[in-house]
């Protein structure tokens, strides 16, 4: 019996040695695999954080441009900051026509660097163009150009374009869903007939109404009949608004009018938006502004007769008719008719977040 017990003890020792040997063979590769996975996951995490940091730089630059696009047309945006322990270098350059190229490079963290390059179009629908119309553009003796760069006063019609008069010149491209008739008029850029229809933005009237109401409500018609200077806004007017000759109204806030707006040899001064649910007529006066505000007829038409209006003119369901006038801004309408007009389209309008329908359009997004 003793020899049997010794034999069993010897067999157990052999089995233990075999298990130990096999365990060593299994544990070492398992540890190596675990360590390899850990290093891989750490590398992925590091690279992901670097990519997130570079992406944060793109978002930061886009927001900066969107808030003040005109600041970065002639002066490139160049900034550096730290995100997730990475140094992020961001720059943006203006390419013209509302296009900005944004480059963001994130480095640090021990896993190299990531560069993201994005081309962003900060145009806002119809206000990417100096003149835009749903049912046709008719221009007579009209000159349209752009600042700060010449040649970007593009026009767009969802129907036809008709340009007449030997002095007419469009310093930009002309797009239309229909055809272009120009006679001896000049179009400095390219002509694009049978283009795709342009989407026109909504007005966001309810938002403007609410902002105007924060300054109080004026019941009935508000008429400034005596020559002089007055202050107005924000204000919600339930009737009509009228400016008689030699009246100057300095706007201190947005004005929303349920009825009509008529100006006869009077003028608005400021940079606040004016909206009417009915028609707007400005004759012999104008709107003096450095900020290029919005003048909008929500449900009707707009008529302007000189001398100077600095604004975005918008009548989404009506006709915009402008005669003997200098316009600093842009014009959009159901139809647009110009006669003896000089239009100066400011490219700073592109990307303005307070314009109807403004939004961002990232066109490309590439990693390096």
Q: What is the model's pLDDT at position 105?
A: 95
Lowest mean pLDDT among 59-63, 67-71, 201-205, 225-229: 67-71
User: Considering Cα of 176, then 96, then 67, then 153, what sign does the dihedral take?
Assistant: negative
Q: What is the model's pLDDT at position 96?
A: 63
Q: How far is CA 306 from CA 165, 278, 318, in A?
A: 19, 21, 20
Report the share of the chain in percent with pLDDT over 90. 57
Alpha helices in the chain (DSSP H): 2-67, 205-213
| Radius of gyration, alpha carbons of the chain | 33
- SS3 per-residue string spanning 132-145: EECCCEEEEEEEEE
What are the backbone angles phi and psi of residue 55, rounded to the nearest 5°? -65, -35
Contact 328, 308 (CB under 8 A): yes
**What average pLDDT does this structure show over 55-75?**
80
* Three-state DSSP state, 25: helix
Whose CA is closest to 106, among 148, 32, 164, 54?
54
Whose CA is closest to 188, among 175, 171, 174?
171
pLDDT at 207 over 80: no
Cα 259 to its chain centre, rounded Å, is: 30
DSSP 220-262: S-EEE-SSEEEEE-SEEESS-EEE-TTEEEEESS-EEESS-EE
Cα 111 to its chain centre, rounded Å, is: 36
**What average pLDDT does this structure show over 175-200?**
92
Q: What is the model's pLDDT at position 71?
A: 74
CA distance 18 to 24: 10
* Three-state DSSP state, 35: helix
Tokens of 56: 């944060």
**What average pLDDT does this structure show over 145-150?**
90
CA distance 162 to 277: 29
Q: pLDDT band at 171, cuts 50/70/90?
A: very high
Q: What is the model's pLDDT at position 33?
A: 56
Q: What is the model's pLDDT at position 28?
A: 59
Q: What is the model's pLDDT at position 76?
A: 87
Contact 344, 327 (CB under 8 A): yes
pLDDT at 282 over 80: yes
Q: Strands 137-147 and 217-218, how do they pair?
A: unpaired
Non-local CB neighbours of 308 within 8 Å, separated by 6+ positions: 286, 287, 288, 325, 326, 327, 328
Length, in residues, of the chain: 368
Neighbour count for residue 308 (Cβ, 10 Å): 16
pLDDT at 357 over 80: no
* Three-state DSSP state, 264: strand
CA distance 172 to 330: 14
**What average pLDDT does this structure show over 186-196?**
94
pLDDT at 158 over 90: yes
Contact 120, 100 (CB under 8 A): yes
Tell me which of 108 and 23 has the higher pLDDT. Answer: 108
CA distance 299 to 205: 11
Q: Which residues pair with 138 in a beta bridge?
A: 162, 337
Could you say which DSSP state residue 160 is in? -
pLDDT at 191 over 90: yes
Average pLDDT of the chain?
85
Neighbour count for residue 180 (Cβ, 10 Å): 19
pLDDT tens-digit map of 91-134: 998 776 557 889 999 999 888 899 999 887 654 456 778 999 99
Domain boundaries, the chain: 2-123+362-367, 127-348
pLDDT at 218 over 60: yes
**What average pLDDT does this structure show over 346-350?**
76
pLDDT tens-digit map of 295-337: 999 999 999 998 999 999 999 999 999 999 999 999 999 999 9
CA distance 127 to 66: 14
Cα 275 to its chain centre, rounded Å, is: 21
């Amino acid at each position: 019996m003793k020899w049997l017990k010794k034999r069993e003890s010897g067999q157990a020792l052999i089995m233990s040695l075999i298990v130990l040997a096999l365990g060593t063979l299994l544990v070492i590769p398992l540890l190596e695999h675990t360590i390899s996975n850990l290093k891989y996951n750490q590398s992925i995490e590091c690279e992901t954080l670097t990519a997130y940091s570079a992406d944060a730089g793109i978002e930061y630059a886009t927001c900066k441009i969107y808030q003040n696009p005109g600041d970065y047309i002639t002066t490139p945006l160049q900034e550096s900051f730290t995100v997730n322990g990475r140094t992020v270098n961001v720059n943006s350059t203006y390419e013209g026509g509302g296009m900005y190229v944004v480059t963001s490079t994130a480095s640090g963290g021990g896993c190299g660097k990531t560069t993201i390059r994005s081309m962003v179009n900060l145009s806002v629908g119809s206000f990417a163009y100096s003149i835009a119309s749903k049912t046709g553009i008719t221009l007579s003796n009209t000159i349209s150009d752009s600042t700060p760069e010449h040649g970007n006063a593009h026009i767009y019609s969802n129907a036809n374009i008709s340009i007449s008069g030997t002095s007419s010149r469009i310093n930009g491209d002309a797009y239309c869903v229909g055809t272009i008739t120009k006679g001896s008029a000049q179009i400095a850029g390219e002509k694009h007939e049978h283009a795709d229809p342009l989407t026109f933005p909504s007005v966001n009237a309810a938002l403007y109404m609410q902002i105007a109401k924060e300054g109080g409500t004026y019941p009935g018609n508000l008429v400034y009949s005596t020559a002089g200077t007055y202050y107005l806004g924000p204000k919600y007017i339930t009737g009509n608004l009228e400016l008689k000759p030699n009246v100057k109204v300095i706007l201190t806030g947005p004005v929303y009018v349920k009825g009509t707006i008529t100006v006869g040899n009077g003028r608005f001064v400021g940079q606040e938006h004016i909206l009417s649910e009915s028609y707007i007529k400005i004759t012999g006066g104008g709107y003096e502004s450095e900020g290029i505000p919005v003048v909008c007829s929500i449900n009707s038409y707009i008529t302007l007769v000189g001398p100077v209006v600095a604004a975005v003119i918008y009548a989404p369901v009506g006709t915009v008719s402008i005669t003997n006038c200098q316009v600093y801004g842009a014009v959009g309408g159901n139809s647009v008719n110009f006669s003896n007009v000089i239009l100066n389209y400011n490219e700073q309008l592109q990307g303005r977040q307070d314009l109807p329908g403004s939004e961002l359009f990232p066109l490309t997004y590439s990693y390096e």
